[in-house]
Amino acid sequence: MEKMLEGVFNEYILWHEWERQSRPATIRWHKMNMRVFVTYLRQWLQIKDPELKDFNETNIRQFLIDRLKSGITSRTNLTNWQAFKAFSKFLLRREYISKDPMLNISRPQVEKKLPEALDEKQVKELMRYMMSRRKPRYRIAYLRDLALVGIFVFAGLRRSEA
């Protein structure tokens, strides 16, 4: 008799909780990703009680394609892919499956965006504000703050870099 997908997934969650001692946020992340996939199997592929054999390359690939077509961002698609990859590794380690269904499914590409930068008017406004905060008693702190903002703005550094 074939194992039910949700039963094996519950075992995977227990493994995360007890053996790996994963953080609650990680566990919620895995649950959310698998819940979306199981819902997809039930609603779109008309599989009433998904079994472990339904976690296969064809269904996963179709899921990722359909999600992109429905307007889900490529970043969310990558998140789903990562969750499925981790789950399939668990299935292989526990010998529930003999072939990795994720082997031929390539990692989804995510478009990279440049961070937003201040324009010249905003930089002048920021520097004007910093200079207006000058108080005679705190000259050292004022100069430090002004230098720090100048480093951020003119060197293009992030907060952690400065």
Task: Give the residues across from 51 on adjacent strands.
Answer: 4
Measured distance CA(118)–CA(7) in Å, rounded: 51
Report residue 58 as tokens.
């064809």
> What CA–CA distance (Å, rounded) separates 8 from 30?
13
Would you place residue 150 in the very low, low, confident or very high pLDDT band (cuts 50, 70, 90)? confident
State the amino acid at position 122 in one-letter form.
Answer: Q
> Is residue 27 located within the same domain as residue 82?
yes
What is the band of 149 on the pLDDT scale with cuts at 50, 70, 90? Answer: confident
| Spatial contact of 33 and 83, defined as CB atoms under 8 Å apart | yes
The single-letter code of the amino acid at 1 is M
Domain assignment present for residue 125? The answer is yes
How many Cα atoms sit within 13 Å of 138 on the Cβ side?
10
Q: Which domain holds residue 125?
A: 120-155
The position carrying tokens 């990692």 is: 107
- The pLDDT confidence band at residue 120, using thresholds 50, 70 and 90, is confident
| Claim to verify: residue 150 and residue 76 sit in the same structural domain | no
- R_g (Cα) of the chain, nearest Å: 25
Report how far residue 119's alpha carbon sits from residue 36's, in angstroms, rounded to the nearest whole number: 41
- Report yes or no on 102 lying in a domain: no
pLDDT surpassing 80 at residue 28: yes
34-89 pLDDT, tens digit each: 999 999 999 999 999 999 999 999 999 999 999 999 999 999 999 999 999 999 99
| 46: three-class secondary structure by DSSP | coil
Among 75, 93, 111, give the residue marking a domain's end. Answer: 93
111 located within any domain = no
> Under a CB-based contact definition with an 8 Å cutoff, are residues 103 and 85 in contact?
no
Per the structure, how many domains does the chain have?
A: 2
Query: Of the candidates 134, 135, 129, which has an alpha carbon nearest to the alpha carbon of residue 149?
Result: 129
> Is residue 148 in a domain?
yes
What mean pLDDT value characterizes the chain? 90
Co-location of 29 and 73 in the same domain: yes
Q: Is the domain of 68 the same as that of 138?
A: no
pLDDT for 85 equals 97
